[in-house]
Chain A
Amino acid sequence: MEENIDHICEECRTKTAIHYTNGDSFFGPRLRTINHLELGYSKVLTNPFTIFLELLYVFYKKIRGAVSRMIAWLFPRRDRLYGTDLDSAVVGRLTFAARHELNTPIHGMKLELWARTRLLRQWRKLSEGYSDNDGTFSLPFEVRSVRNIRMAKRVHLEISEITNVFHSETEPPKPHYTLFHSIPLSKGEFIGMEYTVGAVQLAFWEYRKDAPTPRVVIKDHDEDAPEYYTKGRTDALIQQVIPIELTKLSHLERIDLEKKKMVKDKLTIQAIQKAYPENLTVCIEQRKPGYTRSDAWFGERMMNGMNKGCFVPDAENPSQYWMHYFGICNYAANNEYALPTASVKYALTSKGLPIPIEIHLVGQLDAFNTDPWQSRIFTPENAEDWLAAKRVVRTCGAVSTEIDEHFTGTHINTEQYAIAAFRNLRQNPVAWLLLPHLKEASLINHSADKLIIEGYLPTATALKTEGIKARTRDILGMQDWYDWHPMKPISEAHSYAKAEQLFWEIVGKYVDEFFAEHESAIKQYWYEIAAFSNDLVNHSVPEFMPKGALDGLSGREHALALQRKEYYCALYRFNPDAERVTVNGEIKAISRITTARNFAEALPEDFDRLKSACRYAIMTATFLHTWINEHQYDDLGEILYSCGGLRFGSEKRGVIAPESDLSIAPDLTRSTQMLWFTNLLSRTEYGFITRNEEGDVNPLFIRLLKEKEAEFTALGVDINAIESRTNI
C-alpha cells in the first residue's frame, strides 16, 4: 500500500515537474518584462495587428543593435593607454547622491578617461583608475595627448560599475563593467596639473528611506534601476508566463462579464483549477482520492514540502514535536480572512515521518466571535473538524512560509546583502564570489512590492499591507549570518534537513576554496569588507524583541511574544546571545563582520567571520530560496487544498468547515490570481547553478554540486533545479 502511494507520488512529481521550452510563435501573444505584469490585467499584446507592430519594433531594435555593434567594431575602445608624460590629472571625489549620504564616499569605482580623434573618431584611452577609500580619484594623463590638434574637443570621464562577474574553467573571474555615468569635459580646460570635476554625486545603489527594511531605490525598473534583468532572464520568463497570463486574463474577463450579467454559465473554482496546469496534489488526488488530505501527507509536506517546517521537541515528551505558524499577532489585519496562530503537535512514524496528533488554533475562526485569544484544540478524533483544522494549518503555514520565510527570509534578506555588496565590493575578490548570487534580488523584490505585498496579499490574506510590512521588518530582525547552521534532521525521513545540510557543506567548501585561492587579494582590499560590513549592519533592521523588550508586556501578550521569539530562534537559527551592535539606539539584527579598515588591524577571527557571512548569503540566495519557490506550485497549486487565506464565511462554524463550503474558500478572482502566482513563481525560474546560462557561476561551485548529485537525488532534490540567485 505504502509502496503504491510512493509510486503514485513519484509519478505525479515527474508528471508535474516544470520543464523549460524555447517555444515561440510569430503571432503569439507578447509581454515585455516581468515589470509589466499586473495582478489584474497585464499589458499582454493579443491583437494580431498590435503584435505585428510589436514585431516591427523588435525588428527595429535588432537593427539598432546591429548598428551599435557595427559602430563598436568601427570605433573600438582598445584597452591601451595613450601618452607617457603624465603631467596632468583629472581629479574629483565620488559620493552618493542621496541627501542623507552626500558625504559618504564611493570607493573602488572604476574610472576611465577617453578622447576621440577628430578625423576618424577613433577612441583613445588616456587614463584609468579607481576611486580611493575616501572617494577621491586622480586619473593621470599626458596633457598634450589631449590638446593635440588631432583630438576632438570632448573628453569623456566615464564611471563604470560591476554588473556581472563571469567565470570560466581556464581563466580567473572576469568582472564585467557597465558604464554608470559619463561626464563630458572640454579639452580646452586641460592646462596641466590637476583639473577637478569636484564632487560627483551618484545615485548609486541608494537605500530607500521609506521602507521598513533595507531596500534599494528603483526609480524606474526599465530606465533607472541599479541593475537590470538580462535578456535571457526576460525571455525565459515571457515564454513560461504568457500561457498562464492568458488563462488569468480569460478568468478575469469572465468574472467581469458575470458581474455585468452578460453570461449564463458561472465560472467555478473547479473550472479555474482545471484551466491551470495540474499540480502535485491535484495529480495525486486524482490517482488516490483523499490521500493529500491524510495525516501522512500532511506531515510529510510539513516536513519536506514548501513549508520545510521547524520541529521543536515537546518539553515533556521529546519524541514528539511542535510546529508553530504565528497568525495575525499584533499586525494590522482585515476582518475578512482567518489567520489564527496554529500549533501542531507531531509524533513520528516508524519511518520517521511526522503524523499530526494535535492542533491548537488561537485566534478568530469565524465572523462572530472576534476574541483574538480564543483557543481551540483539535485531534484526529474530531473527524471532519480535524480535516478542516489541517486545512487551516496549511493556510496559516502558507502565509507564514510565504511572508516570513520566502519573502522576508530569502528575498528581503538577500537584498540587504546585495545592496551592501554592490555598494562596496569591487576590487576585493569577494565581489566575484557574492555578486553573481546576489544580483537581481532587488529587481524581483521591487516587482513583489507592487504585485504581492501591495497587490495580492492584502486582498487574499488576513494581513493588510502595513501589517505585512511590519511583519517583514520583525522577521528580518531574526535573520543573521552569525552562528547560522543548517536544520538538524529529526529522523531518517527528514530529507529537507539532510539536503540543507548537504548544500551547506558544499557552500562551505566552495567558500573555503575560494578564500584560500584569493586570500591575499581579499586581505589587500579589506577596506571594502569593512565598508560592506558597515552598510550591512548600519542599515540592518533591529533585532526582533531583543533582551528586555518583553519586559513591558504582560500576560498572554508576553507569553505569545516569548513563544514567537523562542520559536523564531529555532526556525531561523538565530543566536539571541550573540554580541550585536547598537546603532542609533537600535540593537541591529545582523552581526558585524569586521570593524578594521585594513586587514592588519582586523581581529584574528574576522577572516572566518567574513567567510561565514558569505556562506550564509549564498545559501540564502540559492538553496533556501529555491526550495520554497519551486515547491510553491506543489503545495499552493490547488485552491481548496491550501491558499493564502480562508474567509470567515457566513456560518458560525467559520473556517472549521469542509472544502465543499465555498463561502470560506478564496473567491474566484483570488483563486485565479493564486494559481497564476504559484505558476508564475515556480515556472519562471532562470539562472540555475548547473545550467549556468550566463556563465556567471563559478565552475568550482558547479563541480562541487555535481559531485553530490547522487546524494541529492536520493533526497528527492534535482540539483539542476537549484537557482544560483534569487530572481523570481
Chain B
Amino acid sequence: MNQPSSSNTARVPHRYFLPLFMRTLLDKMILYTLSKLFSWLIALFLSLPFRQRMSHNNGIAAEGSLRIVDNPEFPPNDFFAPGTVFPLRIRHASASFLDDATSNIRSISIKLSHERFKSPFDIELNTGRYSLFWSVRSFIHFANRRKEAWGVEYVRYVRQYPRGLDGAIDGLRRNPTSYRFMHYFSQTAYKYLDSTGIAHYAKYRVLPFGTDEDSGVDPEPCAWDITSERVLKNETRGRNYLKYEYEDALAKAPAKYRLQIQTRRMCDDDTPDVCNNMILWDETAYPWKDLAVLEVHKILDWEESTLTTFSVNNMPKTLGILPATSIYDGNSLNYMRAHSEIARKARLLSYKVFGMPPQIPDNDNRNVSNWGE
C-alpha cells in the first residue's frame, strides 16, 4: 500500500463538544449505570427465573493444586511467591449451547481455593487470544445481536464488525479432543503491582503441560460460515463428550496445565490500545513467563460444578482489575464483571428456590442453548 488511508486535515479539538471534565464525569456515570443495569437485568430476567449463568452453563469442575514456579522470571509479587502451593478449583465450560459438539468458545476458570466462591484469587480464561467484544459498549451490542436459532448466532454482528469476526475465528473450537489440550487466555489486562510497588499490566494464559497442542482450531475458517456453530452432520460425538472425556482422563491420571503471565510496565503516556483486549502485546517485547503449574486430579459432580462460581473481585490488592473510564474503555469489561455480583447471587438464590438445574441429557436434542428447548 503506497497511499495514505486518511488525510492530514487538522482535527477540531474536544473543547468544541463538551468540557473534558464534564465528559469524564458523564462517562463514569454511564459506565456505572450500565454495568449495574445490565447486572440487574441478568439477575432478574435470566439468573433468577431460569437458574442460569449469563453464559458458560455447560461445564464441569474439578479440584487439585497450583504451585508457583520456583524460579520466576516475571516481576516479583508477594502473592505469587516462588514455590507457593495453593489449593485449586477449576471449571471448564463451553460458552454457549448445551452441546459439547458444537463449535464453541471453551473456557477454564481458576480459583485458588477449594471453596465454591471464596478465594484469594480467581481468573477466568477463554480460548482465543482475543475476544468478540472489546468494551462494555461493544459487549452490550454483542449480546443484543446474538439472535440465536438452532446453532447459528451473531450473524449480523460478525458481518458488521471485523474484529468480532477475528475473535470468533480465533476463539471458536470445534470438537477438541479434550479440555486439557487447548490454550486459554484472560484477554483483558489486569493490574499487577510488583513487590517494589511498580505498577504493571498483566495478562494470563493457560496452556497444556508438556505439549503445545491447541485442539479444535479450525484450519480453514470461513468468514460467512463461522457463525454456524451447529453440530456437524452425521456427528457421532455426544452432547457431553468433552465432560465425559475429562472425567475419564482424570480417572486415569491428573490433568496438568501451565499458567503463564505476560506483564507490561505502566507508563503515563500509555494509549487506550494497551488495555484493548483486541490488540495483542508484542510477544518479543512482552514475553509470556511461566507463573505456575496446575495439577487437577478430582472431578466434582454436577451440583458442585454448578455451584462453583468465580469473580474478578476475588483478587489480592496487588493484582485486581484496572480502573475504567467509560463504556468504550477496554477495562470496562472487567469493571462490569466486577459489578455483576447481583447476578451470581440471584442464580444461587434461584437454586435454593427452584432447585438445582438438571444435568445436560445425552439425548439427540442438539444445537440447543437452554434446558427444555
Residues of A within 8 A of B (CB): 79-85, 87, 91, 107-108, 125, 127-130, 132-134, 137-140, 143-145, 148, 150, 189, 191-196, 198, 427, 524-527, 598
In the assembled complex, B1 has its CB within 8 A of some CB on chain A: yes
| B6 touching A129, Cβ below 8 Å | yes
A81 touching B11 in the complex, CB below 8 Å, given contacts A87-B272, A127-B6: yes
In the assembled complex, B7 has its CB within 8 A of some CB on chain A: yes
Q: Considering the complex, which residues of chain B in the window 3-28 have a beta carbon less than 8 Å from any beta carbon of chain A?
A: 3-7, 9-14, 16-18, 23
How far apart sit A58 and B276, CA to CA, in the bound complex (Å)? 58
Q: How far is the CB of A686 from chain B (nearest CB, A)?
A: 35
> Which listed residue (B3, B7, B276, B328) contacts A108, Cβ 8 A?
B3
| B328 touching A198, Cβ below 8 Å | no
| A80 touching B11, Cβ below 8 Å | yes
| B12 touching A82, Cβ below 8 Å | yes
How far apart sit A659 and B38, CA to CA, in the bound complex (Å)? 96
| A79 touching B2, Cβ below 8 Å | no
| A130 touching B4, Cβ below 8 Å | yes
| B162 touching A91, Cβ below 8 Å | yes
| B2 touching A193, Cβ below 8 Å | no
Residue from the set A107, A144, A193, A198 with the largest chain B CB neighbour count within 10 Å: A193
> Which listed residue (A127, A133, A139) contacts B1, Cβ 8 A?
A133
| A191 touching B141, Cβ below 8 Å | yes
Q: How far is the CB of B4 from chain A (nearest CB, A)?
A: 7
Residues of B within 8 A of A (CB): 1-7, 9-14, 16-18, 23, 134-135, 137-138, 141, 159-163, 272, 276, 278, 326, 328
A85 partner residues in chain B, CB cutoff 8 A: 272
Q: How far is the CB of A150 from chain B (nearest CB, A)?
A: 8
- Measured CB to CB, the nearest residue on chain B to A527 is B2
A83 touching B11 in the complex, CB below 8 Å, given contacts A192-B138, A194-B161: yes
> Which listed residue (A82, A133, A191) contacts B3, Cβ 8 A?
A133
B5 partner residues in chain A, CB cutoff 8 A: 129-130, 132, 137-139
28 contacts across the A-B interface (CB closer than 8 A): A80-B10, A82-B12, A84-B11, A84-B13, A85-B272, A87-B328, A91-B162, A107-B3, A127-B6, A128-B7, A129-B4, A130-B4, A130-B5, A132-B5, A137-B5, A144-B326, A150-B17, A191-B137, A191-B161, A191-B328, A192-B134, A192-B328, A193-B138, A195-B160, A198-B159, A525-B3, A526-B2, A598-B2
B161 partner residues in chain A, CB cutoff 8 A: 191, 193-196
How far apart sit A525 and B5, CA to CA, in the bound complex (Å)? 13
| A191 touching B138, Cβ below 8 Å | yes
> Which listed residue (B2, B9, B272, B326) contacts A80, Cβ 8 A?
B9
B278 partner residues in chain A, CB cutoff 8 A: 193
B326 partner residues in chain A, CB cutoff 8 A: 144
- Measured CB to CB, the nearest residue on chain B to A194 is B162
| B11 touching A139, Cβ below 8 Å | no
> Which listed residue (A125, A192, A198, A526) contacts B135, Cβ 8 A?
A192
Apart from the given pairs A138-B6, A192-B135, A527-B3, 4 other A-B contacts in the complex at a CB distance below 8 Å = A82-B17, A192-B134, A193-B161, A193-B278
- Measured CB to CB, the nearest residue on chain A to B134 is A193
Q: How far is the CB of B276 from chain A (nearest CB, A)?
A: 8
B141 partner residues in chain A, CB cutoff 8 A: 189, 191
How far apart sit A108 and B4, CA to CA, in the bound complex (Å)? 9
Q: How far is the CB of B356 from chain A (nearest CB, A)?
A: 37
Q: How far is the CB of B1 from chain A (nearest CB, A)?
A: 5
A144 touching B11 in the complex, CB below 8 Å, given contacts A127-B6, A191-B137: no
A192 partner residues in chain B, CB cutoff 8 A: 134-135, 137-138, 328
| B2 touching A133, Cβ below 8 Å | yes
How far apart sit A97 and B17, CA to CA, in the bound complex (Å)? 40
A84 partner residues in chain B, CB cutoff 8 A: 11, 13-14
| A194 touching B7, Cβ below 8 Å | no
- Measured CB to CB, the nearest residue on chain B to A137 is B5
How far apart sit A339 and B124, CA to CA, in the bound complex (Å)? 88
| A189 touching B11, Cβ below 8 Å | no
A143 touching B328 in the complex, CB below 8 Å, given contacts A80-B11, A191-B141: yes
| A82 touching B162, Cβ below 8 Å | no
A134 partner residues in chain B, CB cutoff 8 A: 1
- Measured CB to CB, the nearest residue on chain A to B133 is A191
A80 partner residues in chain B, CB cutoff 8 A: 9-12
- Measured CB to CB, the nearest residue on chain B to A92 is B162
- Measured CB to CB, the nearest residue on chain A to B11 is A81
B160 partner residues in chain A, CB cutoff 8 A: 189, 195-196
A148 partner residues in chain B, CB cutoff 8 A: 17-18
How far apart sit A651 and B181, CA to CA, in the bound complex (Å)? 99
> Which listed residue (B2, B11, B23, B135) contacts A191, Cβ 8 A?
B135
| A82 touching B1, Cβ below 8 Å | no
7 A-B pairs with least C-beta separation: A129-B6, A191-B138, A81-B11, A191-B141, A193-B163, A132-B1, A82-B12
B163 partner residues in chain A, CB cutoff 8 A: 193-194
How far apart sit A329 and B11, CA to CA, in the bound complex (Å)? 66
B159 partner residues in chain A, CB cutoff 8 A: 196, 198
A125 partner residues in chain B, CB cutoff 8 A: 9
How far apart sit A148 and B26, CA to CA, in the bound complex (Å)? 11
A189 partner residues in chain B, CB cutoff 8 A: 141, 160
| B9 touching A81, Cβ below 8 Å | yes
How far apart sit A129 and B7, CA to CA, in the bound complex (Å)? 5
How far apart sit A192 and B277, CA to CA, in the bound complex (Å)? 12
B14 partner residues in chain A, CB cutoff 8 A: 84
| B11 touching A525, Cβ below 8 Å | no
